[in-house]
Amino acid sequence: MVDMSTRLGSAAFPNPVMTASGCAAAGQELNQFFDVSSLGAVVTKSIMTRPRSGRATPRMAETPSGMLNSIGLQGPGIDSFIEHDLAWLAAHGARTVVSIAGGHTDEYVELARKLYGNPAVAALEVNISCPNVESRGQVFACDASASSRVIGAVRRAADPGQPVLAKLSPDVTDITLIARACAEAGADGFSLINTLLGLVIDPDTMAPMLGGITGGLSGPAIRPVAVRCVWQVRRALPHLPILGMGGIRTGLDALEFVLAGASAVSVGTAVFGDPTAPVRILAELETALAERGFTSLADAVGYAHLDEFQRSARRTA
Amino acid sequence: MTDRATSAAPTPAKVAQSRSAQSRPVQSRPVQESVEILSVKRVGEYTEFTVVAPGIAEHAKPGQFVAVAVGGENTSMLLRRAFALYSATPGGAFAGTVSFVVAEHGAGTRWLVQRQAGERLDIVGPLGTPFPLPSGPKPAVLVGGGYGTAPLIPLAQALIAAGSPVEIIIGAATAGRLFGELVAKRTAGAVTVTTDDGSAGEQGRVTDALPAAIERIGAEVVYACGPMAMLRAVGEVAKAKGIRAQVAVEEAMACGIGVCMTCVLPVRDDTPGGDGKSRFVRSCVDGPVFDAERIRWADVGSLPSDLVGADAMGGGH
C-alpha cells in the first residue's frame, strides 16, 4: 500500500489524480462510468461570469497523438454553475477544484467572490492561459505583469481557505518568469500546463480546419513540453505545489509528472478516448510507485531532481 | 448517421447550457466494453460489424450510437469513431450482440475495416438520444442517405411492431453507396431507391420521392438519417407537408459522452416549457436525434448573434 494522499496548498486530497479542466465538464457524464468521488478531485471546465456560447464549429481536429480544440469556453455562467453543477458535485461527495476564467481582472474577482465560503470548493484554478481568444494580447499568462495582476486580485478576493492555483501557458519564452510573478502575487500553487496554440489546415478545402482558426493542442503529443514546464517551475519555486497535466494517458505518464515535481495530476484528453482513464491511471500510478519502493506519493514528488544522497533518504525514510 | 454520432441516454443531466434546451428522460447508461467481433461483412462500399456487447445490447434503442476506439493500444489516434447502431439484440439468437456500419473515410476507419472476426474492439454505448416513437400506430416515412439507412432498419421494425405503416426511401450518390436496400424491402415490404447518377433506382434525390411517399400513406412523421444537407432538405419537405421530421445528425465529435463540447449545433428550444431561445447543444447527448425544425440549419458552422451567450464572446476569452 502506498499512501496516495496529497496536498495543494491548504487543500488535502485522498489521491493525486484529478480530471482536467475542459475535459470532464462538471463530472456528471463521467460519473456514469466511475464514481467521480473516487478521484482526488474533479477539476471543472473553466467557468465565466455570464453564459457563453463558445465558438462556431468545427471545434475539433484530431492530430498525431493529440487533438486541437477551439471550444471558446462555452458554459452556463457562474450562477447556474453554482446552483446546478457545484451542488451536484457536493451532493456526490466529489472534491472540486473550480476553474475560473475571465476577460478582465474584475471578472476573475467577481467569480472568486461568488465562490467565497462555498464548502464545495477545494481550490481555485485560475485559467489565465486559455489560447482560444481573439488576440494573443489577451492571454494573461503570456505576460508577467498581467498574470500578477489577475492572480493578486483573485488571491485578495478569494476565500483564504481556498488555495489559488495559477494555470499557465507553455507558449512563453521562460515560464519561470511568469510563475515567479504569480508567486509574488500570492499564488498558492500552479496548474501546468494549458494547451499549446496550434493550427491545422484541411488539405481538401485548403483552409484552416477549425472555425476559430487556431486551437489548443492537447494529448500525449505535448507531454514532454508539460513535463519540462513542471520541472522548470519546481526547480525555480520548490516550495509551491504543482498540479501537472498534459497528455497523461497511463500511470507511468503520471509518474513522470510526479517525479518532475507535481503533487497531483490532471487527466484530460485521454478521457475522450477512454472515459475510465482517470481511475485506471490512479491504479497504475499506485502500482508504479510501489514497484519503485515508494511508501508514499509525497516521497516521489520531485524525486527526479534529487541527487543520490537525497534519493536514498527519501526511499528509506 | 453515418460515421459519427448518434445518441442516447441521457443521462446525466444535461449539461449546463443545454440544461433547458431539451429534456428527455434517462433511458440508459452507457457502458465501456471490450467486445469480440463476431462477423465483418462487406456491403457495397461499407463494412458491417457484429460484435458481442451484451451491456450495450441490453438497453440500446434505434437512433443511438456506439463510439469505437481505433488504432490499437499504442495508437496515435486518440479519439473514438461514432457509428449508429444497426441492430441491438438483447435476447434470442445472437443474444447480446450489436451491429453497426462503417464507411472508410480516413486512417481510423481504414484501421477499423481491416479488423477480422475474433479480434476485439473497445466500444462505448449506447450513446445519444433515440428516435422518439409515437404512442400509438402512426404512418411514417423513413429516409436514409448512404449508410444513414442503418439505424432506420431497427426503427422500422419497432414502428411496424407497434402497428405503424412504414415507407422507406433510401438514396446515395451512386449504387455502391447505397446501404440496406434488401433488408429495407424485407422489413417494410417495399423500398424506394434514388441515386444522384441514376446507377440504381430513380435518378434524383431522396427528397424528390418524399412528398409522394408522405401522401401515399398519409404519413404523420418523417424519420431521417444521412448527410446534413439531406436532413435539412427532408425537414423542409416535412414542414411543407405540415408534419414533423425527426433527424439523426452527424457532427464531428471527440468524446461522444458529452464532456468535450466539440459536437454542438445551434438548436432552438421550442419544447413545451422551453424559452424559445437558441443554444449550442451537444449532438452526442442532447442528440443526435433532433426535431429538424429546431435545428438552425443555415447557422450551422457559424455563431448567430442571438444565440444564448453569443454576447459574451466579444473580445474575451
What are the tens digits of pLDDT across the range A143-202?
A: 999 999 999 999 999 999 999 999 999 999 999 999 999 999 999 999 999 999 999 999
Min distance B35 CA to chain A CA atoms (Å):
15
Let me know if residue B73 belongs to a domain. Answer: yes
Q: Which of A25-39, A109-123, B21-35, B97-111 has the lowest mean pLDDT?
A: B21-35
State whether B303 and B204 are in the same domain: no
Let me know if residue A239 belongs to a domain. Answer: yes
Question: Between chains, do A33 and B32 touch, taking CB under 8 Å as contact?
Answer: yes
d(CA B220, CA B232): 18
Let me know if residue A17 belongs to a domain. Answer: yes
Q: How far apart are the first and last CA of chain B?
A: 33
User: What does pLDDT average to over chain B?
Assistant: 89
Residue B152 has which C-alpha cell?
A: 432506420
Q: Which helix H or strand E contains A219, and what residues bound it?
A: none
State whether B122 and B135 are in the same domain: no
Which amino acid would we find at residue A163? P
| Residue B5 pLDDT level (bands cut at 50, 70, 90) | very low
Place of cell 520531485: A302
State whether B73 and B182 are in the same domain: no
Question: Between chains, do A25 and B124 touch, taking CB under 8 Å as contact?
Answer: no
Residues of B in contact with A132 (CB under 8 A): 317
Let me know if residue A110 belongs to a domain. Answer: yes
Q: What residue of B is the nearest CA neighbor of A133?
A: B317
Sequence-distant (≥ 6) Cβ neighbours of residue B71 within 8 angstroms: B77, B107, B108, B111
State whether B94 and B137 are in the same domain: no
Q: Which domain holds residue A48?
A: 6-55+68-198+217-316
Q: Which helix H or strand E contains B208, and what residues bound it?
A: helix B206-217
Let me know if residue B23 belongs to a domain. Answer: no
Let me know if residue B72 belongs to a domain. Answer: yes
State whether B144 and B236 are in the same domain: yes
Let me know if residue B11 belongs to a domain. Answer: no
State whether B276 and B227 are in the same domain: no
Let me know if residue B14 belongs to a domain. Answer: no
State whether B244 and B292 are in the same domain: no
Let me know if residue A227 belongs to a domain. Answer: yes
Phi (first) and psi of residue A230, to 5 degrees: -60, -45
Cβ atoms B251, B231 nearer than 8 A:
no
Q: Which domain holds residue B212?
A: 131-248
Omega of the bond prior to A128 within 30 degrees of 0, cis?
no
Question: Between chains, do B315 and A73 touch, taking CB under 8 Å as contact?
Answer: no
- Choose among A260, A206, A202, A187: nearest CA to A230: A260
State whether B180 and B110 are in the same domain: no
State whether B63 and B157 are in the same domain: no
Sequence-distant (≥ 6) Cβ neighbours of residue B120 within 8 angstroms: B34, B35, B36, B37
Active site residues of A: 130
Which amino acid would we find at residue B187? T
pTM for the predicted model, two decimal places: 0.92
State whether B241 and B259 are in the same domain: no
Cβ atoms A42, A89 nearer than 8 A:
yes
d(CA B266, CA B283): 10
Which amino acid would we find at residue A155? R
Total count of domains within chain B: 3
Residues of B in contact with A107 (CB under 8 A): 316
State whether B110 and B135 are in the same domain: no
User: Residue B258, by phi and psi: left (phi above 0), alpha (psi -120 to 50) or beta?
Assistant: left
Let me know if residue A205 belongs to a domain. Answer: no
3-state SS, one letter per residue, for A18-32: EECCCCCCCCCCHHH
Total count of domains within chain A: 1
Other beta carbons within 10 Å of A152: 18
Let me know if residue A204 belongs to a domain. Answer: no
Residues of A in contact with B317 (CB under 8 A): 48, 72-73, 101-103, 127, 130, 132-133, 138
Altogether, the residues listed in chain A come to a count of 317
DSSP assignment of A53-73 equals --PPSP-EEEETTEEEE----
Let me know if residue B312 belongs to a domain. Answer: yes
Q: Which of A54-63, B24-33, B132-141, B248-257 has the lowest mean pLDDT?
A: B24-33
State whether B215 and B238 are in the same domain: yes
Sequence-distant (≥ 6) Cβ neighbours of residue B153 within 8 angstroms: B86, B87, B180, B183, B184, B187
Counting one residue from A and one from B, how many pairs have CB atoms under 8 Å apart?
Answer: 178
**Predicted pLDDT at B138:** 95
Question: Between chains, do B32 and A69 touch, taking CB under 8 Å as contact?
Answer: no
- Supply the CATH number for residue A150's domain: 3.20.20.70
Q: What is the ipTM of this complex?
A: 0.91
- Supply the CATH number for residue B206's domain: 3.40.50.80
**Predicted pLDDT at B270:** 85
Question: Between chains, do B16 and A85 touch, taking CB under 8 Å as contact?
Answer: yes
Question: Where is the domain boundary, B92, B127, B162?
Answer: B127
| Residue B3 pLDDT level (bands cut at 50, 70, 90) | very low
| Residue B91 pLDDT level (bands cut at 50, 70, 90) | confident
Let me know if residue A61 belongs to a domain. Answer: no
